[in-house]
Amino acid sequence: MKAYGYFTSKKYFKRVLFSIMLTMALILTGLSAVNTYLLERSVKNVQEEANLKVLTQTQYNLSYMNEIIVHLSSFAYRDNALIPLMFSSSLPKMDYIRGYQQMYNMLESSSFLHMMSVYNATSGELYGSSSDFLVDGGTTKSSILQWLLHTNDSLPASRLIPFSFSNSNGIDAFAFIVTDTYRPFTPDQSAIILFIKPDWVFESLSKLNGTGNGNTGDILIQTSSGQLFESGDSSQTFNQEDIGRLIRNDNAGEPSESGFVIGKAGGQKVMVTYLRGIGDWTILYMQPYKQLMQAVSDMRTRNLMLTGAFILISIGISIWLSYKLYGPIETMMKRILPHMRNIQEPSPRSRSELDAMSDVYEQLSGQLQEISSEQIVRKYYIRKFLTDSRSLSEMDMRQLIMKHELQLAPSGPYMVCTLRLDRYDEYERRTSPEMKKLHSFAITNITKEIMSQTFGCEIIDMQQDHFTFILSGMPLDIAVIKPLIADVQQVLDRYYSLSLTCGISDSTGQLNQLSSSYYQSYQLSQYSILMGYQATIEAQNIRTNLDNKQKSLPDDVEKKLSEAIRKGKLTDAGSELERAFDILAKLQLEDMRRAISDMAWIIKNAAADITSNRITHLSMDVERIPLLPQDYYTLDELHMAFLSLCTAICEEAKPSSMERNEMIIETVKELIWQKYADYNLNQQSIAATVKLSSAYVGKLFKDSCGLTITEYLNDVRLSRAQDLLLKEDSTIMEIMEKVGYGNQSYFFRLFKSKFGSTPKEFRIKKSIS
């Protein structure tokens, strides 16, 4: 009862529980259904392939039998002993005996012959060879004559025809009519009729089918008129109209030589595989669908049982998982319910636990909005003091401090400090907006907590790359302030991996001077380029820079640096760089940045000049050199970056003789591959292109590659000709011209020397192979 009461009182818990249970049940049921569907589809595909193999073998057997019968019938029709039986109006007794003896001999010599008959059109007589024909009182004879003379459809000659002595749908034999023409048989023609046993066809077929998966069926033959014939031992009777309808529906689009269809026939579901046979026959393979899909049905039953078992297990897991997921919500409800005003614990018929928490949120939201509005006003006036203090009178500023309870002394003194994020561009790229909000909260609260222990402090996020705080109170001793700022920097670095540089303004006694102090502190914080990361910078630390009137680097420094780079003199370039950075360290901030940018352009122009005078380009991206100062934030980093850049340029500016030779050889090869189709391409033209002597280029290429330029050119041309002979239908003369040869005998001689055959012989051999 306790568990039931707990369950009924927790509306959100019930949602979680039923959602998980329903999801798991749907997934398990869906997987079971999909698995069964895929299995049934796979069984159908495998069965179709197996059935087509069976029918293909049947078609082969019938075709083979037809071929044998054609040869035998030709021999029988020209046999001298059988000719009197076919054409004599009055048959002598000896001719009658010889004819019957010859038919008997043919039956004995052929295991597949069931019976042989001769029809004499002149006398209308039919002679037969089997014992049934002679002793059954004329039943067999009349059946054959009825079939020959009174069949509505024309009987084709020299073709196997399914035949039943009892006029049933079963196949007693295959009849083969032989006349003196290939036209359909007519009663005014004499003919020999061979009756072939069907047993060996169906028996071999049954053996072939029985070696498969055990899903045996029945083989039927359908004529063009739609009549069905089956083996005498067929397991069941099939409805001719139903089977014809299934096959016609499957061929409603484009008729095909073979097919696979499932449908109703004779009151049961069957699988029909069909294949066009000899002439107008269609060979059918009929299988009961239920028998074929027995394994699928068994698998479906097992899947249902397993799915049911897993659903029961999933119910237990769902209950356990729901309790786990609901635990934090239940804990939260226990904590907030005692403090909720005018809110009762949710009942199962009204509101859920989340509704109750939503009510609490609305109450708290109203209180937070009141607090937030006051905070917004406070931040606005602090930012106004820092950016536009001259627009306010001293009296107005003191009144605002008192009204909004700002932690500032009304009468001063004041000092403004700016905390600036080091490597801000990098920080901006790798930090998510949510993390930036967290960092802003941490910087403002940690700074205010540490600084407020000694001074009045108000801090504001300036929403760029820095935070600014105002200190007030007596006395503002820089010796006390700097250790506190160092504590702030260490805490933020330890817990948030944030590096901040602090600029400290001069002390002022007037509130309307706060804007000037803010500008001074921000400018000082940017001198981290000189002082390094996490520095605390006062005006006296950079007094030399502030008093320096020099605006740029001396011209001789820039000129010597450029010349050293162009000449590949790394030592001289390093010396000039060191001299340049010594001068940079004494410039004012804006002049320093401008001079660094100018120096980057000097290096870029020197590298561009080197590239324009070389066969190959420098490995570095020359166009990106002016952007290098954006990737580094201190003079030390920039010095090392420029030094590494100059080192790389100087090392590549003086390639060794081996590198130069390799470049010449690769250039020659590239020229040959690009211009091999040019008749005039030779060693002299190549040497002129690379602006070297022909003898020097030839010797250099021979020593390096082991063959002359002419030999390499011929190899390229002949290889290309070989590819064109295989892939194109162009004439040999056209291909010869495409690869740069103008003399046919010379081309044939070179081609045969390389490949062992002429181009024509090569193409013929490849086409045959």
Instruction: Reduce the secondary structure of 306-343 to three states and give it as a string.
Output: HHHHHHHHHHHHHHHHHHHHHHHHHHHHHHHHHHCCCC
CATH class in words for 658-768: mainly alpha
pLDDT at 370 over 90: no
Determine the Cα–Cα distance for residues 475 and 293; give it in Å rounded to an integer.
97
Query: Residue range 132-151: average pLDDT?
Result: 79
Beta bridge partners of residue 635, listed in sequence order: none
CA distance 443 to 460: 10
Q: How far apart are CA 178 and CA 119, in angstroms?
A: 10
Which of these ranges, 161-175, 283-297, 647-661, has the smallest mean pLDDT?
A: 647-661
Residue 347 has pLDDT above 50, yes or no: no
Q: Is the distance from CB of 604 to CB of 626 less than 8 angstroms?
A: yes
Query: How does pLDDT run across 582-603, given as a tens digit for each residue?
Result: 999 999 999 999 999 999 999 8
CB 539 within 8 A of CB 416: no
- Class of residue 742 by CB neighbours under 10 A (exposed 0-12, middle 13-18, buried 19+): exposed
The closest alpha carbon to 478, from 446, 455, 499, belongs to: 455
Would you say residue 474 has pLDDT above 60? yes
pLDDT at 1: 42
Quick one: tokens of 577?
């760089």
The reported pLDDT for the residue numbered 350 is: 47
Distances (CA, A) of 693 to 662, 686, 687, 700: 16, 10, 6, 11
Which pLDDT band holds residue 209 (cuts at 50, 70, 90)? Answer: low
Tens of pLDDT, residue by residue over 727-754, are 888 888 888 888 888 888 888 888 888 8
Which range (116-120, 177-181, 307-311, 549-553) has the least confidence?
A: 307-311
pLDDT at residue 2 is higher than 50: no
The whole-number average pLDDT for the span 362-367 is 62
Helix (H) or strand (E) holding 264: strand 258-265
Residue 354 has pLDDT above 70, yes or no: no
SS3 state at 475:
coil
pLDDT(654) > 70: no
At residue 4 the predicted structure's pLDDT band, cuts being 50, 70 and 90, is very low
What was the pLDDT predicted at 14? 67
pLDDT of residue 415: 94
* Top-confidence residue, 293 or 585: 585
Model pLDDT for residues 146-205, shown as the tens digit of each residue: 888 887 777 888 877 888 777 666 677 888 888 887 788 888 888 998 888 777 656 655
- Please tell me the predicted confidence (pLDDT) of residue 742: 85
When comparing pLDDT for 606 and 662, which is higher? 606
- pLDDT tens-digit series, residues 62-92: 777 778 888 888 888 888 888 888 888 888 8
More confident residue, 118 or 251: 118
pLDDT at 91: 80
pLDDT tens column, 35-47: 877 877 777 777 7
Query: Would you place residue 260 in the very low, low, confident or very high pLDDT band (cuts 50, 70, 90)?
Result: confident
Note the pLDDT tens digit of each residue in 423-462.
998 999 899 989 999 999 999 999 999 999 889 899 999 8
Find the range with the poorest average confidence among 334-338, 495-499, 523-527, 642-646: 334-338
* Whole-number pLDDT of residue 5: 47
The whole-number pLDDT of residue 302 equals 79
CATH architecture of the region 78-200:
2-Layer Sandwich (3.30)
Tell me, which fold does domain 217-292 have in CATH? Profilin-like (3.40.1840)
Identify the pLDDT of residue 255.
64
Q: Report the candidate in 639, 3, 32 with the shortest Cα–Cα distance to residue 311.
A: 32
Domain ranges within the chain, ordered by starting residue = 78-200, 217-292, 371-542, 548-654, 658-768
Distance of alpha carbon 600 from alpha carbon 345, whole angstroms = 71
Residue type, position 85, single letter: L
What gap in Å lies between CA 220 and CA 202, rounded to an integer? Answer: 10
pLDDT score, position 487: 95
pLDDT score for 351: 58
How much is the pTM? 0.44
User: Selecting from 3.30.56.10, 3.40.1280.10, 3.40.30.10, 3.30.70.270, what CATH number does the domain 371-542 have?
Assistant: 3.30.70.270
Does the N-terminal peptide bond of residue 184 adopt cis geometry, omega within 30 degrees of 0? no
Split at pLDDT 50, 70, 90, the class of 233 is low
Highest mean pLDDT pick, 9-23, 243-257, 450-464: 450-464
Could you write out the DSSP letters of every residue in 26-85? HHHHHHHHHHHHHHHHHHHHHHHHHHHHHHHHHHHHHHHHHHHHHHHHHHHHT-TTTHHH
